């Protein structure tokens, strides 16, 4: 069959018009008009992944578009950050961030710093504690200090990762207490938990959620809270501030987009995710994981400011620890 010239021309015109229309749609129309992706720099099933999946459903309802959670694990989320930075700054790529982006930037694991991001919200703060077990040679923070002073360099405190948030937090607190302790980095929390229960390390830095089973069974208990105030959940455990020790930066989770995203788009996303943090599902998740022990929610502007302060703190500490020259 031969197709006539007029028909071909007409088809071309229709297609051209279609393209113009499509182009107009994605530029001028209101945000969001297509699905949004949230990039998680950790594997499925991890803390950050679960956080994202619990905040997303409410945000989907508010924004009226579907939001896909995409896992890109690797290098403490540095790989995912590289990916986010290569996407257009249009608000359709949201990045689930954790405190780890700070040491990653300071240690040069990614060429990008938190200043390349426009923070949307800080959803919560995960308060850490120094915890000891039945085989530890001390039962309280006071006893730990006394033991460490008598045996300099002998006290071993486990944490996850090297040059990580855990190491920085432990260093800030023990140094301000004038203690000489050894930080023992572990790859996985479960290995560290077993090492504490088996008496291979004397103490560990850990948040409440992952250790709650052992805390409730009485195998492990907290001796020091890394916060300004005592926690309601552990009223007898002293906090860093009341002992006159330095407060380390906080461990948090939040959301951000690439810097340069139009401000009105950022505002829409910020409002939507802030409201999603009020949702029933998110609140239930936060309380089940003990993420509501401390008021950690911040909106974009405050979050950006706190990030700036924390970045300086990390730079200083990691330099002191010999990670950065």
Partner 1 sequence: MLVVAELLLQGLTEVLTPPNLMAITLGVVAGIVLGAFPGLDSTVGAALFIPVTYGMSATQALLLLAALYGGAVYAGQIPAILFRIPGASEAVVTTLDGYAMARKGQAGKALGVGLVTSLLGGLFGVTTLILLAPLLANVALRFGPAEYFALGVLGLTAIAGLSGRSITKAVISALIGLLLATVGIDPITGVARFTFGQSMLLSGVSFIPAVIGLFAVAEVFKQASRPQVVRALDETELRTGRRLRVELPSLGELRRMAGLIARSAVIGAWVGILPGVGATTAAIVGYSQAVRLSREPDKFGTGVPEGLAASETANNAAVGGAMVPLLALGIPGSATTAVMLGAFLMHGLKAGPLFLVQQERLAFTLFVGMGVATLLIFPFALLAVRPFVALLRIPYPMLAAGILAFSAVGARAMGDLYGILMMFCFAVLGYLLERYGFPVAPLVLGLVLGRIVETSLRRALIIAAYDPWMVVSRPITAVLLVLSVLSVAVPAWTRYRTRRAAEK
Least Å distance, CB 69 to partner 1, is 10
CA quadruple 262, 263, 268, 273: dihedral sign: positive
Nearer to partner 1, 23 or 198 (CB): 198
Residues 114-133 that bind partner 1 (CB under 8 A): none
Would residue 103 be called left, alpha or beta, if left means φ above 0 and alpha means ψ between -120 and 50 degrees?
alpha
Query: Using the rule CB under 8 A, is 193 a contact of partner 1?
Result: yes
164 binds partner 1 (CB under 8 A): yes
Under the binding rule (CB under 8 A), the answer on residue 83 touching partner 1 is yes
Could you say whether residue 323 binds partner 1 (CB under 8 A)? yes
Q: Which of 82, 271, 315, 316 binds partner 1 (CB under 8 A)?
A: 82
Report if residue 152 touches partner 1, rule: CB under 8 A: no
Is residue 179 close enough to count as binding partner 1 by CB under 8 A?
A: no
We find the least distance from the C-beta atom of residue 120 to partner 1, in angstroms, to be: 22
Vertex 103 angle, CA 97 and 104, to 5°: 70
Query: Whose Cβ is closer to partner 1: residue 168's or residue 276's?
Result: 168
In the complex, minimum distance from the CB of residue 213 to partner 1, in angstroms, rounded to a whole number? 6
Structure tokens at 300: 């974009």
CA 97 distance to own-chain centroid: 5
Q: Find the shortest distance in angstroms from Cβ 303 to partner 1.
A: 25
Q: How many Cβ atoms from other residues are within 10 Å of residue 37's Cβ? A: 15
Strand order in the sheet with 220-225: 182-186, 156-160, 203-207, 128-133, 220-225
Contacting partner 1 (CB under 8 A), which of 62, 65, 89, 107?
107
Q: Name residue 98's beta-bridge partners.
A: 253
Pattern 59-78, binding to partner 1, x per CB under 8 A?
Answer: -----------xxxxxxx-x
What is the C-alpha to C-alpha distance for residues 48 and 44, in angstroms, rounded to an integer?
9
**Quick one: which segment of 136-144, 186-194, 224-232, 247-255 binds partner 1 (CB under 8 A)?**
186-194
Q: How far is the CB of 26 from partner 1 (least distance, A)?
A: 25
Using rule CB under 8 A, residue 150 touches partner 1:
no
C-beta neighbour count of 88 within 10 angstroms: 10
Query: Could you tell me which of 29, 69, 63 has the C-alpha nearest to residue 45?
Result: 69
End-to-end CA distance of the chain: 75
Q: Least CB distance from residue 5 to partner 1, whole Å?
A: 41
83, 72 Cβ separation under 8 angstroms: yes
243 binds partner 1 (CB under 8 A): no
Q: What value does the CA radius of gyration of the chain take, rounded to a whole number of Å?
A: 24
Q: Point out which residues pair with 256 in neighbouring strands.
A: 95, 119
Pairing of strands 117-125, 298-299: antiparallel
The residue within the footprint of partner 1, chosen from 3, 27, 188, 325 (CB under 8 A), is 188
Q: Is the dihedral of CA 80, 92, 283, 299 positive or negative?
A: positive
Enter the tokens of residue 323.
């990670």
From the list 142-150, 151-159, 235-243, 309-317, the region that binds partner 1 by CB under 8 A is 151-159
Among 59, 117, 201, 224, binds partner 1 (CB under 8 A): 201
Q: Using the rule CB under 8 A, is 194 a contact of partner 1?
A: yes
Span interacting with partner 1, options 5-13, 38-46, 93-101, 240-248, rule CB under 8 A: 38-46
Structure tokens that stand for 26 in this block: 């994605």
Residues that bind partner 1 (CB under 8 A): 43-46, 50, 70-76, 78-80, 82-83, 107, 109-110, 153-154, 156, 161-164, 167, 182, 184-191, 193-195, 197-201, 213, 323
């Amino acid at each position: 069959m031969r197709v006539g010239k007029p028909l071909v021309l007409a088809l071309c015109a229709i297609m051209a018009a279609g393209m113009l229309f499509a182009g107009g749609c994605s530029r001028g129309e209101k945000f969001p008009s297509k699905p949004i992706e949230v990039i998680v720099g950790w594997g499925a099933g991890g803390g950050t992944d679960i956080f994202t999946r619990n905040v997303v459903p409410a945000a989907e309802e508010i924004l009226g578009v579907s939001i896909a959670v995409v896992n890109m694990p690797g290098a403490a989320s540095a790989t995912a950050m590289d990916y986010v930075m290569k996407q257009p700054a249009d608000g359709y790529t949201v990045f689930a961030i954790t405190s780890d982006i700070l040491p990653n930037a300071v240690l040069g694991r990614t060429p990008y710093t938190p200043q390349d991001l426009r923070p949307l919200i800080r959803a919560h703060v995960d308060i850490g504690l120094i915890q000891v077990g039945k085989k530890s040679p001390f039962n309280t923070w006071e006893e730990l200090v006394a033991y460490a002073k008598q045996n300099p360099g002998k006290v071993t405190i486990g944490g996850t990762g090297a040059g990580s948030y855990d190491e920085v937090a432990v260093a800030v607190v023990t140094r301000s207490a004038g203690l000489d302790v050894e930080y023992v980095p572990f790859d996985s929390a479960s290995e560290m938990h077993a090492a504490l229960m088996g008496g291979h390390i004397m103490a560990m830095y850990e948040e409440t959620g992952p250790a709650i089973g052992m805390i409730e069974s009485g195998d492990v208990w907290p001796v020091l809270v890394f916060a300004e105030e005592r926690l309601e959940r552990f009223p007898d455990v002293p906090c860093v501030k009341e002992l006159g020790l330095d407060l380390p930066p906080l461990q948090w989770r939040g959301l951000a987009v690439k810097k340069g995203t139009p401000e009105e788009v950022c505002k829409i996303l910020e409002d939507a995710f802030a409201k999603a943090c009020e949702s029933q599902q998110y609140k239930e998740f936060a309380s089940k994981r003990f993420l509501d022990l401390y008021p950690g929610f911040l909106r974009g502007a405050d979050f950006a400011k706190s990030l700036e302060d924390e970045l300086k703190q990390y730079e200083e500490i990691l330099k002191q620890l010999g990670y950065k020259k």
